[in-house]
Amino acid sequence: MSVLTFGETMAALRADGPIRLGGGMRLSVAGAESNVAIGLARLGHRVRWAGLVGDDETGELVLRTLRAEGVDLTHARADRRGPTGLVLFERRVGELTRVIYHRAGSAASFLSPGDVLPALDPAPALLHVTGVTPALGPGPAEAVRAAVASGVPVCLDVNHRARLWDRATAAATLRPLASALTVVVASDDELDLVAPAAATTERDRVAALLDAGVREVVVKRGADGATGHTATETVDVPARRVRVADVVGAGDAFVAGYLSGMLDDLDLSGRLERAVTVGAFAVASTGDWEGLPTRSELGLLDSLPGSVIR
C-alpha cells in the first residue's frame, strides 16, 4: 500500500439554492481524507481508507463509492454506535457555498486507535491525516496521535474547521504533532495552528516547522497558487487559470496531486505543479471529488478553452 488515510466520510447533499426553500438535492459522499484517497486512486496509486460509517444506507453509499473508485477498504467498517454523518452544501449567492454539518455523535466520532493502527501493518509509504479528525472527539484525536507516532512518514493537512472547534483548541492539539510530521500542508491563515506560538510571521512559522524536523511545508493560497518550502529551497507556483464551478474540495485535490508527485519522485516544482493541476480540476468541476482527473487526463487543462477532444 502506498498511502493510508483515515477519517470521517459523510453522505453529502447539495442544494442549488437556499435549503429552507426546499427543492431538489443531489446525493453524494464527502470527506477530506476520502477525497484525497479518491484523487490518489484516480492517479493510479494504491491507497487505503480506514474509518467507521453507520450501519445504514448512507454508510453503504460511502463504502460503495470508495470501493468503486478503487480505494482499499480492508480497514473500513460499519458501526452501530451512531449513524453515518451528513453534510449539506447550500449554494447561497454566486460562488459562495454554505456548509452545514450533522455529524455530532456519528459513527465516525467513535473512531479509536484500535480502528486505525492495524491498517498501518504492513507500513504504507505515507500516512495522510487532516486536522478535521482530531476535532471529531477524543477517540479520533487519540487515533491521530497514535498513528502519527507510529513512525511512518506523515502528511498533515491542517484543514481547520471553525464549525468543529476553536483555533486555540486546534493549536493545542496539532502543535505537539509537528515534530513527527514529514509534510505539513496549510492555508496561509492556518500555519499558526501547527507552528509554535512564538513564531509570528509566515516566514518564521515555516522556519520553525523545518527546524522541528518537518521536511516539506506547503502553503496553499487559493486562486493565488501555493508555495513549497524545504530546508534548501522555496518554490512559488501560480494557480492554473480555470473557470470556477465549485471551490469546495480544492484543498483535498491539491493534496492528492502533491502526494502523487511525492510518490512519483518528482522534485518540489513538479509536486507543486501536479498539486495545482489537480486542485484546478476540483475548482472547475462540481462536487468535492467527482471531477478529479485520471493520470491520462492530467494534461487536459493544457487544451485550449472551448476545444473538443474527439
The correct pick among 132, 178, 276, 292 for binding ligand ATP (CB under 6 A) is 276
Closer of 263 and 284 to ligand ATP (Cβ): 284
Measured from the CB atom, the residue of 119 and 248 that comes closer to ligand ATP is 248
Residue 297 gets which letter from DSSP? G
Please count the residues of this chain forming the interface with ligand ATP, following the rule CB under 6 A.
22
Query: Pattern of binders to ligand ATP over 183-202, x per CB under 6 A?
Result: ----x---------------
Name the amino acid, one letter, at 285.
Answer: S
How many residues make up the chain in this entry?
310
Among 279, 287, 291, 293, binds ligand ATP (CB under 6 A): 279
Give me the 235-254 binding string for ligand ATP, x by CB under 6 A, dash otherwise.
----xx-x-x--xxxxxx-x
Catalytic status, residue 302: no
Taking the complex as a whole, how short is the minimal distance between the CB of residue 266 and ligand ATP, in angstroms?
16
Give CA angle at 99 (97, 104), nearest 5°. 175
**Cβ closest to ligand ATP, residue 83 vs residue 249:** 249
Q: How far apart are the first and last CA of the chain?
A: 36
The DSSP-derived string for 61-122 is HHHHHHHHTT-B-TTEEEETTSPPPEEEEEEEETTEEEEEEE-TT-GGGG--HHHHGGGGSS
Q: Which one from 72, 115, 157, 252 is the annotated catalytic residue?
A: 252
Assign residue 306 a region (left: φ > 0; alpha: ψ between -120 and 50; beta: otherwise). Answer: left
Touching ligand ATP, residues 203-222 (CB under 6 A):
220-222
Binding map of ligand ATP across residues 159-188, x = CB under 6 A, - = no contact: ----------------------------x-
Are residues 6 and 129 in contact, defined by beta-carbon separation less than 8 angstroms?
A: yes
Q: Which three cell numbers stand for residue 221?
A: 493560497
Which among 247, 286, 243, 280 is positioned nearest to 14, based on CA atoms? 286
For the annotated catalytic residues, the residue numbers are: 252
- Contact residues toward ligand ATP (CB under 6 A) are 187, 220-223, 225-226, 239-240, 242, 244, 247-252, 254, 276, 279-280, 283
